[in-house]
Each structure stands twice: as structure tokens, then as C-alpha cells.
Structure 1
């Protein structure tokens, strides 16, 4: 018996699901769990046939809740089942039959070798049968994920995944009810520092992937919101810090109105920057990056980075001005944009890294 649980979320499947489940059942996996995610009643005979095979259980949602919710409910079901909870891991597969049995077996073998990891069945997108939209979508998402999270993943949209049982609890409470949940799984794996293993699999697209329930606009928007959400928080905190800096500057200008202009401006600038930078540090630490490191281990790095950014900005603008003769304000805008993007990565991967 293969000591893995197969999870298949299904919405209005066709007869191919029965053939696929039969092949899986013949391999004697510990259990095969099918989530009927609110399919129409006309599909009931298909699920009845599937449940008649060895070790197959069908759990039904009364209404469609999305692939993410189906997977989360399946994981919770497995963790609460004494027999399934003793498996080496869980393998998620799609209901359209696009994941070859031999590839499922590869992931099962990999899960038997390690108790704490995420295994991704990665496809090759260089073959002719890959729809252009899928090829472009995966390429863009792959590069964005690496840019924002520092991890190279060849196939961010694969539905064939193996989760070691010791790691399954990391994925039961994540956000996302539809396809964005699978992106959240990758982000959670990176944040939890799980080993992510890639296993090459066959690239199968049946009839241009027409059976997929993926909405190109709605689901793509949700996926990219998940990817950029943390960066948008970083931008929001930076904008708020800028407004606070201007507000404090004006406040101190009014308070110090009795002093000489040069002294008033200098003191107001220093005090305003001190207040806004402290606010920025606290918000980035607790809200954006949610670092568990103690403040005394991060504040030195944060202010060292701030000083380095100021020096880099000044020198870069000066050198570019000497080389190009462009107006300083335009050069500074471009330079500071690059520094802002680099600062996000450094704060995420160095300053506030757990």
C-alpha cells in the first residue's frame, strides 16, 4: 500500500474522473479523498461510481466554495482522521485527468523520503501543446514571485503538489477560497522555510484546457493581489510616513517660530524625520513584515539601511547629473524609486528576516 492520501477537488467533472480515480485506486493508496465542490446533480452518478472504488471517500459541499476552500476542508478532514493522519503526506491532483499516474507515483515516492517539505510537480512550458495564455501567465508569475519572495519556483500554478504530513498544518488556515489559495501555499512555504522540491512531470493540456474553471480575469487578479499585498502594505506605510514627516515638520516650524529661520528649519527637519522614521520602522516590523525578532536586533539594521540609502541617493544623483546634465529633481525621482524597491527586498530578507 502506498502510504499517501490523494486529494481531488472536483466541480462538475466528466467521466474521465471515474477512469482516473479507478487507476489511482488500483495502486492501493492509503486513501483517495474527493471533494465534490457543489457540482450539479447530474454529476452525482460520477461521484457514486468513484466512491465504489477501493478506499475512495467523497465529501460534498452543498454549494460551490472554490478550490482553495475545498483543499483546506480536505486537509482538515485528513488531520482529524486517525488513519489518514498517519500517512507520509498528501498529494493534490486535478479532476480533469491532466496529471499522469506515473507523476503521482513520483510525488508519493518523494514524500516517503522526508517528513517535512512541499513537493511541486512542475511542467515544462516550452512544448507546443501549452496554450499561450498559460505560458505567459506562468512566466510572469514565476518572475514576480522570485522578485518579491526571493525563491525561484518553475511552475507556480501547478495543481499536482505533495505535502509532507508534518507540514500539512501550515496550510489549513491560509487566506484564499479559489485559485489564489495555491499561491498562498507557496508564500507560506517560503515564510515557514519549508524545503520546496521540484519534480518534473508530463505537460498535459486537454482541448486547450477547456475543462478548467479558472477565470482569467477574476482569478488572475486575486493571485496578483496575494503576491503584491505585502508590497502594497509597504507602499502604504511609506506614504503614511511621508505625510507624517511633512505634518511634523510643519508643526515644529510653528512651535519654533521665534528662532532664526536656518535653525528652525534644521531642527524641524531632524525632529520630523526622527518621528516619521520611528513610525515607519515600527509599522514595517509589526505590520508589513511581521517580524518576530526583538527590536534591538532590527533597529540598528533599519537605521543603518536608512543612512546608506540617503548616501547612495545623494551620490547617485550627483554622478548622474555630472554625466547627463538632466535636472536633479528628475534624477532623484528615478534613483529613489530604485532605492525604494531595493529597500523592500533588503528589509524583507535581511533587516526583518526571522
Structure 2
């Protein structure tokens, strides 16, 4: 579903040479190699890959071996790592993903095409197809986060906490990002509430490799608080 707003100027013609795929990584040695292989295959090795890493396992070594730029960082939470990741590249299109092999890297061309069509942010909606591989509690929580954000913003969104999105780099640089656990929701809500062209597109979602790092209760509460805080800040900005 497209959520239309004010567009930035569309330079058009972006290719994989203009693309950076970024992620925060923390002890994902089981999956990181597969994710990086998929990115390389889909983009013919032309996309830049940035991993902001606080791992104690072989994740950074595997990322280095695959040609990724690895920014080492003490573990400080999801948002701190991803904020650093999205602000590091100088390529004009930045795609975020997780490193647990849940997101379809074969959709990178589609996301890039949406940016070339004028979108400022393209957000992957994991729930559209049912997200059968997602634990039931997580799925319910994500549906409730989307409902909460929709009510507070007065704009319908379907998946506020997806990890796969494409952004024009200029948008990432213009907005001050403040959240940690709730950064994924903030990265959708602030551009949308400021009138940028934000589009949600259905994506497939696969079973993760490795163990999740987010506690569903404390993490869920932190995300909900972030959604409320960001919505209020943007309304009274």
C-alpha cells in the first residue's frame, strides 16, 4: 500500500552501484554468511555492505571475508547499532536488513525501483502474507504496534517494526534519530509524519537462524513507548 506525501526531487536512474545494504550485527555467525551471499548474488557484488558489529563470535570475521565494511562497536542495543549503520554509507540509497536470514534479498531490485519511481522510504510489510514463520506472540505484538502507530499518527501503517526498508540517504541525514529498541518504528514514523513519500510493500518473511536477542515483554514495552514518544514529538514539532 502506498502512503503518499511530499516527494523529494527524484534524480532517477539509481543502480546497484548507488546502493548500500546495512545492518547491525550481534552474534549472528549462523546466518550472516548466507545473507551476504544473497546480497552479492542479487546485486552482482555491486552494492556496498556495512555491518555495525558488537559480536563476541565469528560474525565480524565472516563479514570481513565477504567484503563487507565492518564498524566495530560496543554492544549498546539495536538502535545504536542500526543508527550508526544507516549514517555510515555515502551512497544515495540505503537499505536496512537484519542479519538473521529472515528477509528476502531478492526484493532489493524492487525496492530500488520504487526509489527510482520517487519514493523516499520503501518499507517491507512482513505481515501482508501472514508471516507464518514469525512466533505468534511476536506477530500479535507487531500487529498491535502498527495499530497503535496508525491511531496516533492518523495514517494507516501495517508493519512499523520491519527491519527491511529502503531510504534515500538525504532523508536519513536530515532527521535526528533518537530511539534505541524502537528505532525501527521511528525510522518509518518520522518521515511519514513529515510528509515524505513513504510506501509499504508486501515482503515474504522466513524463519530466523540463531536465537533472537529481544525479550518479547521488555522489548515490546520499549517499542510501544517509543511509538507514543515519536508520535507526540512529531505532532508538536
> Are 1:48 and 2:58 counterparts?
no
Structure number with greater CO (CA < 8 Å, separation at least 6) is: 2
Alpha-carbon distance in 1 for matches of 2:83, 2:206: 25
2:179 is matched with 176
1:219 is matched with 219
Alpha-carbon distance in 1 for matches of 2:40, 2:115: 18
- Residue among 192, 195, 210 paired with 2:194: 192
**Do the aligned partners of 2:97 and 2:165 also contact (CA within 8 Å) in 1?**
yes
1:228 is matched with 228
Alpha-carbon distance in 2 for matches of 1:75, 1:224: 22
Aligned CA RMSD, in angstroms, stands at: 2.4
Identify the structure with the greater helix proportion.
Answer: 1
2:50 is matched with 33
1:201 is matched with 203
1:110-149 alignment, distance < 5 Å: 110-114=114-118, 117-123=120-126, 124=128, 126=130, 128-149=132-153
Q: Deviations over 1:117-158 (max 9, x none)?
A: 111011136354332112211221111111110111111111
Task: Give, in angstroms, the shift of residue 64 of structure 1.
Answer: 0.4
Alpha-carbon distance in 2 for matches of 1:229, 1:74: 23
Give 5+ residue unaligned stretches, structure 2. Answer: 1-14
Task: Give, in angstroms, the shift of residue 288 of structure 1.
Answer: 8.7
1:165 is matched with 169
Task: Give, in angstroms, the shift of residue 29 of structure 1.
Answer: 3.2
When normalised by structure 2's length, the TM-score is 0.82
Alpha-carbon distance in 2 for matches of 1:103, 1:110: 11
Give the direction of change, closer, same or farther, for the CA distance of 1:288–1:168 in structure 2 (3 Å limit): closer
> Are 1:6 and 2:21 counterparts?
yes
Kindly report structure 1 stretches of 4+ aligned residues shifted beyond 4 Å.
none
**Do the aligned partners of 1:103 and 1:202 also contact (CA within 8 Å) in 2?**
no
Alpha-carbon distance in 1 for matches of 2:47, 2:129: 32
Give the direction of change, closer, same or farther, for the CA distance of 1:218–1:186 in structure 2 (3 Å limit): same
Q: Deviations over 1:146-172 (max 9, x none)?
A: 11101111111110011112312144x
- Residue among 76, 92, 104 paired with 2:87: 76
Where 2:48 maps in the other structure, the secondary structure is strand
Give the direction of change, closer, same or farther, for the CA distance of 1:59–1:127 in structure 2 (3 Å limit): closer
Alpha-carbon distance in 2 for matches of 1:213, 1:170: 30
Q: Which has the larger radius of gyration?
A: 1
Task: Give, in angstroms, the shift of residue 230 of structure 1.
Answer: 6.9
**Do the aligned partners of 2:129 and 2:204 also contact (CA within 8 Å) in 1?**
no
Alpha-carbon distance in 2 for matches of 1:160, 1:220: 19
Task: Give, in angstroms, the shift of residue 25 of structure 1.
Answer: 2.3
Q: Matched residue pairs, number?
A: 219
Give the direction of change, closer, same or farther, for the CA distance of 1:67–1:288 in structure 2 (3 Å limit): closer
Alpha-carbon distance in 1 for matches of 2:131, 2:52: 31
